[in-house]
Amino acid sequence: MTIEDRVRRVLTEAVADEPPPKGAPLQVAIRRRRRRPVLVGAAALLLVLAAVVSLVAVRDRNGPGPVTPADTTAPPTTAPPTTVVSTAGWKTFTDAAHNLRLRYPPDWVVRRRHAEGTVTLAPPEHAAKALAQWPPAAVTVTAGGGYYVGEVPEPGFTRGRLQGGQAYLRFESDPAQMEAWPGQPKPAANVADRPREGTFSVDWGRDCKGIGPHRCGPHGLTVTIYAGSTALWNRYLAVAEAIVGSAEPVTPTRPSSGDRGLPACRPDQWRVIWTGEQGYAGSQRFFVSGGIQRLKGPRCHLRARMELLVRRAGRTLPVPGNPAAKLVEGDLPEDGIVKESGSWVMRGGPLFWSFYWNEWCNKGLEGSTGLRLTAANGQRISIPGPEPAGAGGGSVCQDRGRPSRLAAWP
């Protein structure tokens, strides 16, 4: 069973009478080290699942190691086109409270879930089990969640855009990586008979119709396509993706990147915050994350370049992508990180930043390293790198013969 399945198990135990919410498939364990107050992610399903996976990883620290993720050293690509399905004659589903409208085949059924802003669509032959924990085939949509990018740099994603132009990240499960897990059905011996799942995290723009309590600001649309086997996946995938592609806001939204009509933020109005948020996605991908804090002054729009450099003994390591650069853009104070009850809090927004170092422990890269984050306002932050293999709390490390790479997420 994959970590994604473990996430579902935890959520199922927490809410016994409600099928677990669908999020991006998290196929690898995520472990974090926090040397400063905890960074609380957005309330989006992606972040909820990320937090659960962190918990599962801690519980399993003395158990089997995480599943080795697929090779993701190359930049993500746009998802390949699938069969084009016409939506002419389809019905329309509208959820004005969460700013969602989509189309679906006239013989499919629509079932609302208990979770706010969540609905499931299923073909007629599977209507009776549409809300089951593991439906035979279904499309589950949650509108109005937190910012679409998510907190954790997951491997294996592709980029794309809906028909209306909204950007998305797409994740797909790998049934070959499923493992047996106590209390759950044993994976079928034939990989083709195992479940398949694809998840879209869509940038829905800014409005005030999100899921409470964080209703105003950038929102996401999370869509999960689930099929109980490869045969069902192949049968319904084209229609399911046409449903996803038809989704659009009921009322126009403003860009998630913020209002460029605001005055530009001055260098003394903001600073970069790294709260100690770092960890591993699998054993070979190390990541660091943080946010931007507003210091003073009126509302402003920030568009700033950030750069992460990996070095050892004062020298830049010869790693492709080193240094890695990321452009953050958003409004302050709305998108800033703030301190509440002693912890740094970011409820999702474009000023959240993250970098990852894939294959960080290849031969020749072993040993202590340091990271240096440089911001456009001249600020520099020194960040400890991943601990050497075998050190207390360090990740199990192996050179898989794949090139190392430093990059911004996503």
Q: What is the mean pLDDT of residues 149-170?
A: 83
Same domain, 272 and 403: yes
Q: What is the mean pLDDT of residues 141-164?
A: 83
Integer Cα distance of 402 and 171 in angstroms: 21
Whole-structure pTM value: 0.78
pLDDT tens-place string over residues 226-262: 999 999 999 999 999 999 999 999 999 999 999 999 9
Q: What is the mean pLDDT of residues 305-321?
A: 92
Integer Cα distance of 382 and 270 in angstroms: 18
| Residue 153 pLDDT | 63
User: Does residue 214 or residue 168 have the better pLDDT?
Assistant: 168
| Residue 187 pLDDT | 87
Same domain, 52 and 117: yes
Residue 108's contacts (CB-CB under 8 Å, 6 or more residues apart) are 91, 121, 122, 123, 124
Same domain, 118 and 238: yes
Integer Cα distance of 143 and 66 in angstroms: 31
Same domain, 302 and 180: no
Q: DSSP letters along 156-205, please?
A: S-EEEE-TT--EEEEEE--GGG----TTSPPPPSSGGGS-EEEEEEEEEE
What is the domain extent for residue 96?
A: 1-256
Nearest to 168 by CA among 206, 210, 197, 203: 203
Same domain, 235 and 309: no
Q: What is the mean pLDDT of residues 198-215?
A: 90
Same domain, 94 and 207: yes
**Confidence bin at 389 (pLDDT 50/70/90):** low
| Residue 17 pLDDT | 37
User: Does residue 154 or residue 30 have the better pLDDT?
Assistant: 154
| Residue 399 pLDDT | 84
H/E segment holding residue 11: helix 3-14
Q: What is the mean pLDDT of residues 288-303?
A: 95
Average pLDDT over all residues of the chain: 79
| Residue 201 pLDDT | 93
- Output the six-digit token pair for 276: 């100690």
Q: What is residue 401's DSSP assignment?
A: S
**Maximum separation of any 2 CA atoms in the chain, in Å:** 65
Same domain, 162 and 73: yes
* Residue 330 pLDDT > 80: yes
Of 189, 222, 256, the position where a domain reaches its end is: 256
* Residue 345 pLDDT > 80: yes
User: Does residue 2 or residue 269 have the better pLDDT?
Assistant: 269
* Residue 204 pLDDT > 70: yes
pLDDT tens-place string over residues 211-226: 887 788 899 999 999 9
Integer Cα distance of 302 and 332 in angstroms: 7
Q: Is 291 helix (H, G, I), strand (E, B) or coil?
A: strand
Same domain, 76 and 164: yes
* Residue 73 pLDDT > 50: no
Nearest to 408 by CA among 352, 368, 338, 330: 352
Strand ranges (DSSP E) for 123-190? 137-145, 158-161, 167-172
Same domain, 251 and 264: no
| Residue 1 pLDDT | 35
The number of folded domains in the chain is 2
Same domain, 265 and 231: no
Amino acid at 29: A
Same domain, 235 and 291: no
Q: How far is CA 80 from the centre of its chain?
A: 20
Of 256, 285, 302, the position where a domain reaches its end is: 256
Same domain, 188 and 280: no
Question: Cα torsion for 298, 209, 275, 74, to the nearest 10°?
Answer: -110
Nearest to 247 by CA among 167, 181, 362, 156: 167
Report yes or no: 399 and 329 within 8 Å, Cβ to Cβ.
no
Integer Cα distance of 20 and 9 in angstroms: 8
